[in-house]
Amino acid sequence: MDLLPVSRALLSVTDKSGLADFARFLVQHGVELVSTGGTKKLLSGEGLPVTGVSEVTGFPEIMGGRVKTLHPAIHGGILADKDNPDHLATLSELSIKPFDLICVNLYDFADAARKGLALKDAVEQIDVGGPTMLRASAKNYHSILVVPDPAFYKRICDELADNGMRVSLALRKELAAETFRRISRYDALIADYLFQHEG
């Protein structure tokens, strides 16, 4: 589809700059918010209605947050092709609600590298769920908008406001490509760090 209606969003970010205003815009325009950990705490503190990922999955965040979004109730909602009747039937059968917008930015591994942390500590800053959601959303850009950085908030809000809370395929594709670039750089940084450090 060209213009994708946005009515449900998942927000899970490390860089929280501008997030409250972005989320407030979404809520004011009827978008349901789902979130994790510190992001949910921030949004709740701003008085915004937000559903925790654990409420969606029916499963608690475990292992210190290592496992929270890796669940079919999340990834089914991200990867469903909204133009595919079989995918929509599967969502209905399993009571999975689709997402229209995924806003994720990653644990700051570059900061961990600069601090010279021991390798065991540094690897705790390797994001797993975040890149997985970003990759899934970018792959499925025909059916979902991926937002990899606060720098895009204003542009997205402007387009949504101008198009009755719908976002164009052109912008979805552009941000999908940008997302894959960012994930590639993130993975390259981690690979270089691992090669350079013993442990």
* pLDDT given for residue 8 in this prediction: 98
* pLDDT given for residue 199 in this prediction: 62
* pLDDT given for residue 139 in this prediction: 98
CATH number for the domain harbouring residue 156: 3.40.50.1380
Specify if 122 maps to a domain.
no
* pLDDT given for residue 197 in this prediction: 76
Specify if 142 maps to a domain.
yes
**Number of other CB atoms surrounding residue 3 within 10 Å:** 14
Specify if 42 maps to a domain.
yes
Q: What is the pTM of this model?
A: 0.93
Give per-10-residue mean pLDDT for the chain (199 aa).
95 95 98 95 97 94 84 97 97 98 86 78 86 97 98 98 98 98 92 81
Specify if 188 maps to a domain.
no
DSSP code of 147? E
* pLDDT given for residue 7 in this prediction: 98
* pLDDT given for residue 78 in this prediction: 98
H or E stretch at 33: strand 32-35
Range of 20's domain? Answer: 4-106+128-171
Beta-bridged to residue 9, according to DSSP, are 33, 101
* pLDDT given for residue 176 in this prediction: 98
Specify if 119 maps to a domain.
no
pLDDT one-digit tens code per residue, 105-125:
986 787 777 777 778 888 888
Specify if 93 maps to a domain.
yes
Specify if 121 maps to a domain.
no
Instruction: Spell out the alpha helix ranges (H) of the chain.
Output: 19-28, 37-45, 53-57, 72-79, 85-94, 109-114, 119-122, 129-139, 153-162, 169-196
**Number of other CB atoms surrounding residue 72 within 10 Å:** 12
The count of domains in the chain is: 1
Specify if 196 maps to a domain.
no
